[in-house]
Amino acid sequence: MVKEVEGVIGKVYLVGAGPGDPDLITIKGVKIISQSDVILYDRLVNEQLLAYAPEQTIRIYCGKRPDHHALKQEQINQLLCYYASQGKVVTRLKGGDPFIFGRGGEEVLALRKYRISFEIVPGITSGSAAPAYAGIPLTHRQISSSVAFVSGVTRAEEDSEAYWEHLAKGPDTLCIYMGVKNLSDICKYLIRYGRDAMTPIAAIYYGTTQVQQTVTGTLETIALKAKQIKNPAMLIIGEVVRLREHIQWFEEMASEESEPLGAVISS
């Protein structure tokens, strides 16, 4: 039961922490963190961002892995409401963007139920950031004029075929979150329902971070080529993936920075 302290009004900020590189959070997000009494943060939030918070700020880890949730969603909702009702400035710090596969909508509805004030601070989602760092433009005038951000997990197993049949005939570029575990099935369904087996695909592990890895292939070959890629990873499907050969920059830059200065000058 949430009880509001008489005469005290708190507020909840749902802040997008960005895709992993701590420099990719918004200025507004940093300002809010620096004024927070309580921060509830997710597994994919770069913990360097917590350093912007005052020393006395309460920090609560809410991370979710496929096989384990530190807190259930209902518990997170209750904590947001509880601390705000005590007059606290509460930051819900979420990887990427709160409203793109971040359950931000569910949390806002819980806040509305108890008439708790809130504000949304958008973040850069990994669906656009990871391919950018991998050198893959999601759109290109001659190649792709449509993009879809989709989940690699369907609500019910029996819905899988209809779900991927719809997407196989849809946008030029697919950006798939949470799809690595089902990569083989996703490729199988897309080929079955009309995508060319030679359609290029990239699997990007921990995009925008120093451990970023990118593996490319086709719908026919990627399951074998990317079997070492684990979550968190983005899957990018479409002809734009071919442009990586010419545009990739981040991994090249990281490689150059790791070389001795003499090696760079002499190359």
What whole-number distance in Å separates Cα of residue 257 and Cα of residue 236?
27
Are 30 and 111 in the same domain?
yes
Top pLDDT among 252 and 26 is at 26
Q: List Cβ<8 Å contacts ≥24 apart for 216-223.
A: 216/241, 216/244, 219/187, 219/190, 219/191, 219/195, 220/187, 220/191, 222/183, 222/187, 223/183, 223/184, 223/187
What whole-number distance in Å separates Cα of residue 34 and Cα of residue 50?
9
Residue 87 has pLDDT above 90, yes or no: yes
| Cα dihedral 49→55→58→59 (10° resolution) | 30
Per 3-state DSSP, the chain is made up of helix, strand and coil in percentages (nearest 5) of: 35, 20, 40
Are 150 and 241 in the same domain?
yes
Residue reference for tokens 């971070």 = 209
Q: How are beta strands 173-177 and 233-237 bridged, if at all?
A: antiparallel
Identify whether 227 is a catalytic site residue. no
| CB of 13 closer than 8 Å to CB of 119 | yes
109 occurs within a structural domain:
yes
User: What's the CATH code of the domain at 141?
Assistant: 3.30.950.10
For 184, list phi and psi in degrees, rounded to 5.
-60, -45
- The one catalytic residue in 21, 37, 42, 97 is 42
User: What's the CATH code of the domain at 101?
Assistant: 3.40.1010.10
Q: Which residues pair with 121 in a beta bridge?
A: 15
In 3-state terms, what secondary structure has residue 218?
Answer: strand
The tokens of 5 are what? 């302290």
Domain range enclosing 19: 11-121
Kind and range of the H or E run holding 236: strand 233-237
What value does the mean pLDDT of the chain take? 91
- Secondary structure string (H, E, C) spanning 133-183: HCCCCCCECCCECCEEEEECCCCCHHHHHHHHHHHHCCCCEEEEECCCCCH
- Among 121, 141, 174, the domain boundary falls at 121
The tens digit of pLDDT for each residue in 211-260 reads: 999 999 999 999 999 999 999 999 999 999 999 999 999 988 877 776 54
Q: How confident is the model at residue 265 (pLDDT cuts 50, 70, 90)?
A: very low
Q: What is the longest distance spanned by two Cα atoms in the chain?
A: 70
In this prediction, residues 127-151 reach a mean pLDDT of: 97
Q: What does pTM read for this prediction?
A: 0.90
- The one catalytic residue in 64, 181, 188, 225 is 64
Domain count, the chain: 2
261 occurs within a structural domain:
no
Closest CA to 149 of 235, 46, 50, 65: 235
258 occurs within a structural domain:
no
Q: pLDDT exceeding 90 applies to what percent of the chain?
A: 83
Identify whether 178 is a catalytic site residue. yes
Are 63 and 164 in the same domain?
no
- Among 121, 147, 166, the domain boundary falls at 121
Are 65 and 166 in the same domain?
no
263 occurs within a structural domain:
no
Top pLDDT among 147 and 253 is at 147
Residue 190 has pLDDT above 70, yes or no: yes
- Among 121, 136, 167, the domain boundary falls at 121
Are 239 and 178 in the same domain?
yes
Are 113 and 228 in the same domain?
no
260 occurs within a structural domain:
no
Are 141 and 87 in the same domain?
no
Q: Which residues pair with 62 in a beta bridge?
A: none
- The one catalytic residue in 11, 28, 172, 178 is 178
Are 134 and 246 in the same domain?
yes
In this prediction, residues 30-43 reach a mean pLDDT of: 98
6 occurs within a structural domain:
no
79 occurs within a structural domain:
yes
Q: Tell me, what's the pLDDT at 267?
A: 25
Q: pLDDT exceeding 70 applies to what percent of the chain?
A: 90
Q: How confident is the model at residue 133 (pLDDT cuts 50, 70, 90)?
A: very high
1 occurs within a structural domain:
no
